[in-house]
Amino acid sequence: MSVSEKDILIIGAGILGLSSAWYLAERGARVTVLDREPIKDAASCGNAGLISLGHPPLTRPGVSVQGLKWMFDKRSPLYIKPRLDGDLARWLWTFHRHCNQTHYEGTMEVLCELGRLSADCFEQILSETEIDCDWQRQGWDDVCMHESSLDHAEEEAKILKRFGFDSERVTGDELRADAPAYTDDVVGAIRFEDSATLSPQAFTAGLARELQARGVTIRTDCTVEALLKRHDRVEGVRLEGGEELTADATVLAAGVWSDKLARAIGLRIPMQPARGYHRDVVGLETMPPRGCVLNETFIAVSPFHDTLRLAGTLELSGFDAPWLGDRLAHLTKAGGTYIHGVDRATVTQEWAGYRPCTADGMPVVGAVPRMPGLFVGTGHAMMGMTLGPASGKLIAEAIYDETPALESPLLAAARY
Ligand SMILES: Cc1cc2nc3c(=O)[nH]c(=O)nc-3n(C[C@H](O)[C@H](O)[C@H](O)COP(=O)(O)OP(=O)(O)OC[C@H]3O[C@@H](n4cnc5c(N)ncnc54)[C@H](O)[C@@H]3O)c2cc1C
């Protein structure tokens, strides 16, 4: 068998699974992607679409303490449903231990490099395909209501400068001259010039179509029940209904559900499902010209053609808890204080989905030690749309034993 003839199974048709498929197909692999759902409801379709290079991890110094305070504020971006849950308690404790400066500095170095690689991956994929996803490489604005927030955002932006990502401070008037959409309450913004926005649904579905045109098989309505492990080797998967599929390599890219499949064969990838919501609105007189984050609320906003998407909230309630209507409503209510008319605009879509969050804030990418045949791509939390293509490339490089474009113990499955 020549190296290019590998048979690969990928569990999950989100951005991680599809990006891995792209780079594997590029190497001549025979790839089958399996997903239990059509490509439209996963986090990879419902996210805010900010391709935010140099986005910091959740594990920032002070965040765990701030999070405790937020728990008692109904409008805060974080909600933790109080419950007796050993996994959650362990996750929170590990998370707290990683919210320190040393870990932060180490993670930023890796995430910035991964972000840069991902930007190249997006440019490559878009130049080689016909995907129409409203890709706009014109940065995003961290939009502030208070001078103190603006000063703080500027300090944070200086950290990114060290890693080669430029930003500039713009006043409220400069912002409004460029974008009359912003209200007079906005005092200014930090503009991150290297980043981009896209319609995540259009990119993900478009990538799936392009892969199929290149011979990749995508099976939806196809639930993987278990990974097949014989002795130490992972040889494929068993589907619901009993069908078994074997492969030279299996990629576990099932988002936050990867943990459950991994546990059954003795691999731990502890994650919490961090639910977020989006609301799409239409009918605004003026739109922000580029993506933005409404600084004091952590709401991410992206313009896609005539639609404005507002996305936010990080809710640790486990799976399938009822939607929190007040948090969903808060997206447009708070949005209207920054952007004219958002609170009165017509809502065309509401959605909730899960970010796969590891307790150390870092993705898990690459080969699994002592389990030949198994590769993982998950745990990208709030950065998966941004970093997914680069992680997919690293997974393909690992499967083909190539020198990786980026290697770090902070990404390795071996850390668990
Ligand atoms: C509100 C919100 C806003 C966000 N905004 C941004 C943003 O602006 N920028 C950014 O970079 N990131 C953002 N993110 C994060 C990003 O969406 C995720 O990190 C990313 O989509 C995760 O991709 P994934 O492929 O790992 O998982 P998913 O997209 O969840 O895909 C996993 C797939 O696996 C399938 N699956 C699971 N179990 C099985 C099984 N047993 N058998 C078969 N299939 C299975 C699922 O059906 C799913 O399709 C946001 C997330 C949310 C919730």
Distance 345 CA to ligand 1 centre (A): 27
**H or E, element range at 208:** helix 200-213
How many of the other CB atoms lie within 10 Å of CB of 102? 9
Q: What is the pLDDT of residue 74?
A: 63
Q: Is the CB of 380 under 6 A from ligand 1?
A: yes
Q: Is the CB of 15 under 6 A from ligand 1?
A: yes
Chain centre distance of CA 189: 23
pLDDT in tens, 189-237: 999 988 999 999 999 999 999 999 999 999 999 999 999 999 999 999 9
First-to-final CA distance of the chain: 33
Chain position carrying tokens 């932060």: 104
ipTM of this complex = 0.99
Q: What ligand 1 atom has the least distance to the C-alpha of 50?
A: 8
DSSP-based three-state secondary structure for 106 = helix
Q: What is the pLDDT of residue 60?
A: 87
Are 123 and 53 in contact by the 8 Å Cβ rule? The answer is no
Ligand 1 pocket: which of 385, 387, 394, 411 to mutate (most atoms <8 Å of CB)?
A: 385
DSSP one-letter string for 356-396: EEETTS--EEEEPTT-TTEEEEE--GGGHHHHHHHHHHHHH
Compute the average pLDDT of residues 376-396.
98
Q: Which domains does the chain have, with CATH numbers?
A: 3-44+202-270+361-415 (3.50.50.60), 56-99+136-195+271-358 (3.30.9.10)
- What is the spatial distance between Cα 63 and Cα 147, in angstroms, rounded to a whole number? 21
Compute the average pLDDT of residues 150-173.
93
Residue nearest to atom 39 of ligand 1 (CA): 254
Are 250 and 11 in contact by the 8 Å Cβ rule? The answer is yes
pLDDT in tens, 71-94: 666 667 788 888 889 999 999 999
- What is the spatial distance between Cα 256 and Cα 276, in angstroms, rounded to a whole number? 13
Q: Is the CB of 78 under 6 A from ligand 1?
A: no
Work out the pLDDT band at 297, boundaries 50, 70, 90.
very high
Could you tell me which residues are beta bridge partners of residue 31?
8
State whether the Cα torsion 201-204-210-213 is positive or negative: negative
Question: Which burial class, exposed, middle or buried, applies to 411 when counting CB atoms under 10 A from its CB (0-12, 13-18, 19+)?
Answer: buried
Q: What are phi and psi of 156, to 5 degrees?
A: -65, -35
Q: Which of 41-45, 155-159, 343-347, 350-354 has the lowest mean pLDDT?
A: 155-159
Q: What is the pLDDT of residue 4?
A: 65
Q: What is the pLDDT of residue 167?
A: 94
DSSP-derived pairing of the beta strands 249-252 and 374-378: parallel
- What is the spatial distance between Cα 93 and Cα 90, in angstroms, rounded to a whole number? 5
Q: Is the CB of 224 under 6 A from ligand 1?
A: yes
Flag whether pLDDT at 67 surpasses 80. no
Chain centre distance of CA 75: 23
Q: What is the pLDDT of residue 63?
A: 83
DSSP-based three-state secondary structure for 282 = strand
Residue nearest to atom 25 of ligand 1 (CA): 14
pLDDT in tens, 81-140: 888 899 999 999 999 999 999 999 999 999 999 999 999 999 999 999 999 999 999 999
- Give the start-end residues of each E strand in 231-386: 233-239, 244-246, 249-252, 271-282, 291-294, 299-304, 307-316, 346-358, 364-367, 374-378
Q: Is the CB of 299 under 6 A from ligand 1?
A: no
Q: What are phi and psi of 222, to 5 degrees?
A: -140, 95
Distance 250 CA to ligand 1 centre (A): 18
Sequence-separated (6 or more) residues with CB below 8 Å from residue 322: none
Flag whether pLDDT at 362 surpasses 70. yes
Compute the average pLDDT of residues 241-261.
98
Q: Is the CB of 35 under 6 A from ligand 1?
A: yes
Compute the average pLDDT of residues 255-264.
97
Work out the pLDDT band at 318, boundaries 50, 70, 90.
very high
Flag whether pLDDT at 402 surpasses 90. yes
How many of the other CB atoms lie within 10 Å of CB of 166? 12
Question: Average pLDDT of the chain?
Answer: 94
Distance 11 CA to ligand 1 centre (A): 12
Q: Is the CB of 276 under 6 A from ligand 1?
A: yes
The Cα-based distances of 10 to 19, 290, 337 in angstroms read: 10, 34, 43
Q: Which among 220, 214, 199 has a CA at the least distance from the CA of 12?
A: 220
Residue nearest to atom 30 of ligand 1 (CA): 255
pLDDT in tens, 16-38: 999 999 999 999 999 999 999 99
Flag whether pLDDT at 293 surpasses 50. yes
Ligand 1 pocket: which of 20, 34, 36 to mutate (most atoms <8 Å of CB)?
A: 36
Residue nearest to atom 19 of ligand 1 (CA): 384
Q: What ligand 1 atom has the least distance to the C-alpha of 17?
A: 25
Q: What ligand 1 atom has the least distance to the C-alpha of 311?
A: 1
The Cα-based distances of 54 to 9, 99, 176 in angstroms read: 31, 17, 26
Q: What is the pLDDT of residue 1?
A: 42
Q: Secondary structure of the chain: what % helix, strand, coil (to 5)?
A: 35, 25, 35
Q: Is the CB of 341 under 6 A from ligand 1?
A: no
